[in-house]
Structure 1
Amino acid sequence: MRENIIQKSAELFLSLGFKSVTMDDIANEMGISKKTIYVHFANKTKLVEAVTFDVFENICAGIDGICDTSPNPIQQLYDIKLFVMQHLRNEKTSPQHQLKKYYPQIYQRLHLKQFEKMHSSVTESLQKGVDTELFRASINVDFISRMYFNGMTGIKDDTYFPSTLYTMEYLMESYLEYHLRAIVTDKGLQLLNKFITSNQS
C-alpha cells in the first residue's frame, strides 16, 4: 500500500503541484481513507519527502541504464537529455520551484543528492571522452563536471530563464551544445555536428 500511495501522490504532485494537493485529494483519488495514508506517513511533509526521493531514484536508474549502454559520451548526454525531457512532459507545474518554496529542507537534500549523482556520472563520462579523444585532454574534468551541474540546474530557474521566453526543450538543447562545443576535439566536433543536425531535422 505504501508504494501505491507514493505512486499516486507522485502523479498528483507532478501534475497539480505540491502545494495544492491535499491528503484528502490523495485519499479520494485512491478510494481509501485518509487514516490509511497516515498509517504509512505521519504527515504531508513525510509523504512529499518519500515521493521526491522515489522519483529521484527512478530517474537515476534510467540515467544509469543509459550510461551503461551509450556507445560514446556525446550520444550519452543527448540520450539523457531525451530521457529527462520525456520525464518532464508529465510535469504540468514546476515541482522543483514549489519544493524550494514550500519544502526548503527537502529541496536542499534533493539538490545535494542531484549534485552527487550528476557529478560522479558526468566526471566518468568526461574522462571517457578524454580517453577516446572526443574531448580535449587539457580539460579539468572535475571543474567541467561542476560547471555542467551548475548550468543544468541554472537553466531551470524561471527568474533568469522565463518559460514565457524559452521552452525547457530549447534551454536543454542549447545548453548541451554550448557545453559540448567548449570541450570537444575536432573528432568530437564531427560527432556533435551530426547530433545537432539530426535533432534539428
Structure 2
Amino acid sequence: MEIKDRIIEGAYELFIRYGFRSVSMDNIATKLGMSKKTLYQHFTDKDELVEAVMEYDITHDEKDCMLSTGNALNAIDEVLNVIDTVADQLSDMNPMVLYEMQKFHPKAFKIFQKHKDEFILKMITQNLHRGVTEGLYREDINIEVIAKFRLESMMLIFNIELFPLAKQYHLKDLMQMIGEHFLFGIVSPKGYKLIQKYQQERNKINNDAKK
C-alpha cells in the first residue's frame, strides 16, 4: 500500500472514533509507526489530511450505497439495506465528527455538503420514484419535497442539541429509528405489509443468532 493511502486510512480510523479536534498529527504518526516528517511530506497540514480523509470516506460510502441499491429486490428493501449499511458505519463513530468538521475544517465540510446535496439526494429521489412505480409508496407524495425532507432528517442524528451526547442516544439506533419512521410515513398499504414481513424476517434472524 502506498504511504499516502496508509496515512489516510490510519487518520480515518482515529478521526471517526475520537473526532477531529482531539486527534493530532502526532497521534496519527504514532498509530502508523512513522515520523511526523513523513506525514508532512505527503500532507501540508492537518486540514489537507482531513480533506483527503473526507474524499476517501465519500468514495467508500458511494460504493457501499450503490452496492446496497443494486442488490435490492425493491424500493423498501433498498432503503432497509442502506439503513443497515450506514448503521454499521455509525456504530463506532464519534457523534461530534460532523460538528467538529464544520467548525474546524470548513473546506472538508464543503466536500461533505456537496456529496450530501448531490449524490445522496439523487439516490433518495431515485428510490422514491422506484417505490411509486412499484406501488410500494403512495402515489400522492411530492417526491421533490419528500426527498429533501428525508435528506435533512438523516442529518438530525448529528444535532447535539436535539440528541445530547448521552448513552441513551446512539447514532446507529437513531439512524434505524428515523429511517423506519420515514418509510412508514410514505408507504402504500402494499408497502406497509412488505415492511412488516421484512421486520418479522429480521427479528427471526436476530433471535436465532442469540441462541
Check whether TM > 0.5. Answer: yes
Q: Contact 1:16/1:93 (CA < 8 Å) preserved in 2?
A: no
Q: What do residues 110-137 of structure 1 show as CA deviations (whole Å, max 9, x unaligned)?
A: 1231221111111111111111100112
Structure 2's unaligned 5+ residue stretches are 205-211
Q: Secondary structure at the match of 2:161?
A: coil
Aligned to 1:136: 138
| Worse-superposed segment, 165-174 or 36-45 | 165-174
The equivalent residue for 1:182 is: 185
Matches within 5 A, 1:117-196: 117-164=119-166, 165-196=168-199
Q: Bigger shift: 125-134 or 113-122?
A: 113-122
Partner residue in 1 for 2:62: 60
Q: Is the 8 A contact 1:15 1:93 kept in 2?
A: no
Paired position in structure 2 for 1:85: 87
Contact 2:74 2:131 in 1 (8 A): yes
Distance in structure 2 (CA, Å) of the matches to 1:107 and 1:52 = 8
Contact 2:90 2:172 in 1 (8 A): no
* TM-score calculated relative to the size of structure 1: 0.92
Equivalent residue number for residue 112 of structure 1: 114
Partner SS for 1:15: helix
State the aligned residue count. 201
CA distance in 2 between counterparts of 1:93 and 1:122 reads 23
Kept in 2, the 8 Å contact 1:6–1:50? The answer is yes
Which residue identity is paired with 2:151? F
The range that moved more, 75-84 or 86-95, is 86-95
The two structures have a TM-score, normalised by structure 2, of 0.88
Show the counterpart of 1:97.
Answer: 99
Task: Give the alignment's Cα RMSD to 1 decimal.
Answer: 1.7
Given the superposition, is the C-alpha separation of residues 63 and 108 from structure 1 closer, same or farther in structure 2, using an over 3 Å criterion? same
Q: More deviation in 170-179 or 126-135? A: 170-179
Alpha-carbon distance change, 193 to 90 in structure 1, aligned in 2, over 3 angstroms: same
